Amino acid sequence: MRIAGSATFLVDRARRRAGRGVGLAVAGAVALVGGFVLSQQFPDTLAGGAGNLGVFVGLAAAVLGVQQLLAASRDRQLSVGEAPVVNQLSARLSDDYYYLRRVDIPRRNAEADGILLGPAGVLVLAIRALDGRYVVRGNDWFELLEDGGERQWNRSPTWEVARPVRALQRAMQEQGIPAVPIQGAVVLSRGQLEQASRPGAAVVPVERIGSFVDYLRQGQPADPVAMRRLADFLAPYAGGNARRPGDTPPQPAPTASA
């Protein structure tokens, strides 16, 4: 299996996001405190108005800082979860397969944790490293509690993987790339799936991802020309492969075979 995208992309992005988050949070706190002091000491004056503005700006900066810190935490978690997925696929798959790390779907404001291109089509992955045991009903996820109860999980991975799948389908239509089979799957690199009832997408433990890809290959083969065009289209947008207008793709397209 060939791979596009940097193995350290997520770690590097987490570091940048964390730096921005800390900077925004500190600047926001300073503006918030300073603005509050001015608004209290000089009410009904220009200085007081500036203080009120400082409070607003400081609060906004603090919120953005927290959002960046949360995004950095998600990137760190994903970087840990991605390695066993890539290792399993690399050990199982031939060079007919092409894996793209953390793909930014062009002009669609959507990201996929990973996209696997192969003879049977496209597999869009949502990689999750979760703690605990889960039950899936449709697109609803529930964490099983120690007392035998359950609580709904605040983020549905099967729902989240649907967004890059739809975005990729629309991007292919815009580019005139012929339709090929596109599947979405949630890969659990950590965490245990106890039961799944009509899930919105396949939920696969990491140790079974190779078998799942083999299962998908039993269907009709994808159009090799369409797959090569899709590889050329997506490779420049894999993590760490961001390109400027006029750049050429950094990786050759795979030769998909039946």
Kindly state whether residues 149 and 230 are assigned to the same domain: yes
Q: Buried b vs exposed e over 104-138: b needs ≥16 C-beta within 10 Å?
A: bbbebebebbbbbbbbbbbbbbbbbbbeebbbbee
pLDDT of res. 129: 87
In a domain, 110, yes or no: yes
Question: Is it the case that residue 51 has pLDDT exceeding 80?
Answer: no
Kindly state whether residues 176 and 231 are assigned to the same domain: yes
For residue 28, give every residue at least 6 positions away whose Cβ sits within 8 Å of its Cβ, in sequence order, or none. 57, 58, 59, 60, 61, 62, 63, 64, 65
pLDDT, tens only, 196-255: 999 999 999 999 999 999 999 887 889 999 999 999 999 989 887 754 333 334 344 444
In a domain, 207, yes or no: yes
Can you tell me the distance from the alpha carbon of 240 to that of 250, in angstroms, rounded to the nearest whole number?
Answer: 11
Kindly state whether residues 67 and 123 are assigned to the same domain: no
Domain end (from 25, 50, 71): 71
pLDDT, tens only, 57-69: 888 888 898 888 8
Kindly state whether residues 96 and 201 are assigned to the same domain: yes
In a domain, 246, yes or no: no
* pTM of the model as a whole: 0.76
In a domain, 5, yes or no: no
Kindly state whether residues 61 and 88 are assigned to the same domain: no
Kindly state whether residues 33 and 155 are assigned to the same domain: no
Kindly state whether residues 29 and 67 are assigned to the same domain: yes
In a domain, 176, yes or no: yes
pLDDT, tens only, 111-132: 999 999 999 999 999 999 888 9
Kindly state whether residues 147 and 209 are assigned to the same domain: yes
Q: Buried b vs exposed e over 7-35: b needs ≥16 C-beta within 10 Å?
A: eebbeebbeebbebbeebbebbeebbeeb
Question: Is it the case that residue 133 has pLDDT exceeding 70?
Answer: yes
Kindly state whether residues 121 and 53 are assigned to the same domain: no
In a domain, 9, yes or no: no
Q: Buried b vs exposed e over 60-79: b needs ≥16 C-beta within 10 Å?
A: ebbebbeebbebbeebbbbb
Number of domains in the chain: 2
Kindly state whether residues 64 and 84 are assigned to the same domain: no
Kindly state whether residues 40 and 97 are assigned to the same domain: no
Q: Which domain holds residue 86?
A: 79-237
151 forms bridges with which residues in the sheet? 143
Using the 8-state DSSP alphabet, how is residue 68 labeled? Answer: H
In a domain, 251, yes or no: no
Kindly state whether residues 32 and 145 are assigned to the same domain: no
Residue with tokens 């629309």: 170
In a domain, 101, yes or no: yes
